[in-house]
Amino acid sequence: MDMQYLNKIFTPDDVKRLDEKQLTQLAEEIRYKLVETVSNTGGHLASNLGVVELTIAMHRAFNSPYDQFVWDVGHQVYTHKLLTGRYSQFHTLRTSGGLSGFPNPEESEHDVFAAGHSGASISAAYGLSVANTLNQKGSYTVAVIGDGSFTGGLVYEALNNAGRSNTNLIVVLNDNEMSISPNVGAMAKYLAAIRTMPSYYRFKEGVEETLNNVPVIGDHLVKKLVKTKRTLKNHLYHSTLFEDMGFSYMGPIDGHNIKALSKAFESAKDFDSPVLLHVITKKGKGYNHAEDKPSAFHGISKFNIDTGEANSKGTNYSEVFGQYLCELASQDKDICAITAAMALGTGLKDFAYRYPDRFFDVGIAEEHAVTFAGGLAAGYKVPVFAVYSTFLQRAYDQMVHDVAMQNQKVVLAVDRAGFVGEDGRSHQGILDVAFMRSIPGSVIYSPSSYDELGIALKKAVYGEGNVVAVRYPRGKEGYLPVGYRPTDNTYDIFGDEDSNITIVTYGALFSQAVRAAEQLLKFDVKLRVLKLNRVWPIDPDAVKAVFNSKDIIFFEEGIKSGGVGEAFATQLLTNGYTGKYSHIAVDNTFVHHAPIPELLDEFGLSADEMVKEILRRT
């Protein structure tokens, strides 16, 4: 497509210079660019296609970065990036050293607040608006939040707090009836009901247009009309929940009509209270494959534009987990599955179909999911909560107070453990072992193969522990050595058992370790690999098994502080170990976006880097 306008947008001011017809063409160009780029880099497509006109209207009505935009989750900022001087870099999206797939203040002054998890935008935007008020800055702060996020409690804490203020806060409720999975719960039904009552806003728009045509006094009357909004509205239908919480409600508005959106934003500026602007958008708009399958195109790897099919196919850990859980559930009617709006992403689609009475999608509400699971356990059920490692972070207190302290058994299927690659800092699963290890009674398994995943899941369901986690990586099973056989042992040893050099590791890094061992044979270096299957608590016999090694290197695809490597070192020292010990892990930093193989190299965790490390020591 010929980029008549998009390649000429260097600042948001350039958007303001375009007329209505040109803006329509700009939207088409943006959608073409989104599909073209994400097909090559992977990323969040459906959500970005749905907010093209909304983002254009925001940049027409407000003056970024003086006015500030806070994006909930942040995976819908691609258009925002294109309109704020990053068009020439857009082909680098989600690549190492390129543009982030989320807002990044280090990348642009137009990215005010970093994001990656849902539900935080209103709290952050309210904080910014209060700071602007205290600084006597007359700017507007706009939070853009999807309806899926309204299943999370933080949203209501923020609305409750912000509703009584008089700051220049505007909350845009982007209502596309979707999170990753279709929305669930009472709030989804409530928003559906509001969508059927647009009569007020249409009536108000008609009156405004009429009054604007009255010479001299028209604008004054429009402002008077805005001030009496609630009075007019009560003649049409009852107030909304948002107005009861102190917000002036506007909507629903067509989220793909730039003119209507621009007018709505201008009207919102005239209120002397926080405003909630309810817009209706279509996830995936403009690309048929994404419109038909918005969940599949929420976050997608590289794909064929013509067919919509992903370039990489095949079984992955998430799907295998779902298969194993279905097998267990077929034999045990007490097993229940829980997801936080991610049935497809966590492999629970088949479970939901086969056992609908035992499948629970709680929406984007990880804290509630864990406490709900604790309640199920107290009722003698066996809850399995499938959740990405990065999102489990949100439920630490619930794991402590509502599961472990209650002596209840909850199984956590921790997906995307370790590096996840291009999604970057907010999504890397490097903290789960460290924070779960601190919980009394916790047990953590970290399988290195599909078969081990099945074994670990069964042990988690029927074995010891309260908070019991089975953590596994994103993607497919890694390399396994010839003759490899899975066991139900707490640990296994591979390679030369008489070697003076031992690698200790677990999970996906086992593949890197055995590759390193094979490569080192070329240098006449024999290596022993201790693989922890149950990474916590550490089996004392595992420590004894390598105690005679003169050199032990613990490789861990996670944060160093609080990691298993630290605990292993403590047990060695407690038993009087006098040899050399090293712990190579992610040390006191967040992990940026890059392909997983590049991250493994960067942090010294790939087979090649393991070989270099060991050759330096021999």
Q: What is the amino acid identity at position 154?
A: L
Set 283, 349, 416, 528: catalytic member: 283
Sign of the dihedral through C-alpha 164, 165, 166, 168: negative
Bridge pairing between strands 534-536 and 443-445: antiparallel
Least confident of 33-47, 170-184, 352-366, 440-454: 170-184
What average pLDDT score do residues 491-495 get? 94
pLDDT tens digit string along 512-532? 999 999 999 999 999 999 999
- Whole-number pLDDT of residue 296: 85
- Look at the pTM and tell me if it is higher than 0.85: yes
How much is the mean pLDDT over the chain?
90
Residue 156, token pair as written in the block = 């209501």
- Taking the C-alpha atoms of residue 171 and residue 119, their distance in angstroms, rounded to an integer, is 12
pLDDT band at 438 (very low <50, low <70, confident <90, very high): very high
- Whole-number pLDDT of residue 299: 84
Total number of residues shown for the chain: 618
What average pLDDT score do residues 431-444 get? 97
DSSP state of 152: S
Bridge pairing between strands 491-495 and 528-532: antiparallel
pLDDT tens digit string along 393-424? 999 999 999 999 999 999 999 999 999 999 99
How many CA atoms lie less than 13 Å away from 192 in the CB half-sphere? 11
- Say if residues 87 and 6 touch (Cβ distance below 8 Å): yes
- Whole-number pLDDT of residue 272: 84
pLDDT band at 223 (very low <50, low <70, confident <90, very high): low
**Whether residue 186 has pLDDT greater than 90:** no
Give CA torsion, residues 116, 120, 122, 125, to 10 deg.
Answer: -70
Set 366, 367, 422, 609: catalytic member: 366
- Whole-number pLDDT of residue 197: 55
Going from the C-alpha of 494 to that of each of 79, 491, 514, 585, the distances in angstroms are 50, 10, 8, 21
- Say if residues 101 and 42 touch (Cβ distance below 8 Å): no
Going from the C-alpha of 533 to that of each of 138, 276, 319, 342, 504, the distances in angstroms are 58, 50, 20, 27, 11
Determine whether 616 is an active site residue: no
DSSP state of 537: S
Q: Which residues pair with 491 in a beta bridge?
A: 532
**Whether residue 318 has pLDDT greater than 90:** yes
What average pLDDT score do residues 128-142 get? 95
pLDDT tens digit string along 293-311? 888 888 888 999 999 988 8
Instruction: Please give the share of the chain, as a percent, with pLDDT higher than 70.
Output: 90
Determine whether 354 is an active site residue: no
- Taking the C-alpha atoms of residue 419 and residue 610, their distance in angstroms, rounded to an integer, is 17
What average pLDDT score do residues 111-136 get? 94
Q: How many CB atoms lie under 10 A from the CB of residue 273?
A: 16
pLDDT tens digit string along 77-102? 999 999 999 999 999 999 999 999 99
In Å, how far from its chain's centre is CA 604?
Answer: 26
- Taking the C-alpha atoms of residue 47 and residue 456, their distance in angstroms, rounded to an integer, is 35
What average pLDDT score do residues 321-331 get? 98
DSSP string, 195-231: HT-THHHHHHHHHHHHHHTSTTTHHHHHHHHHHTHHH
**Whether residue 228 has pLDDT greater than 80:** no
Set 233, 394, 409, 531: catalytic member: 394
- Taking the C-alpha atoms of residue 527 and residue 495, their distance in angstroms, rounded to an integer, is 6
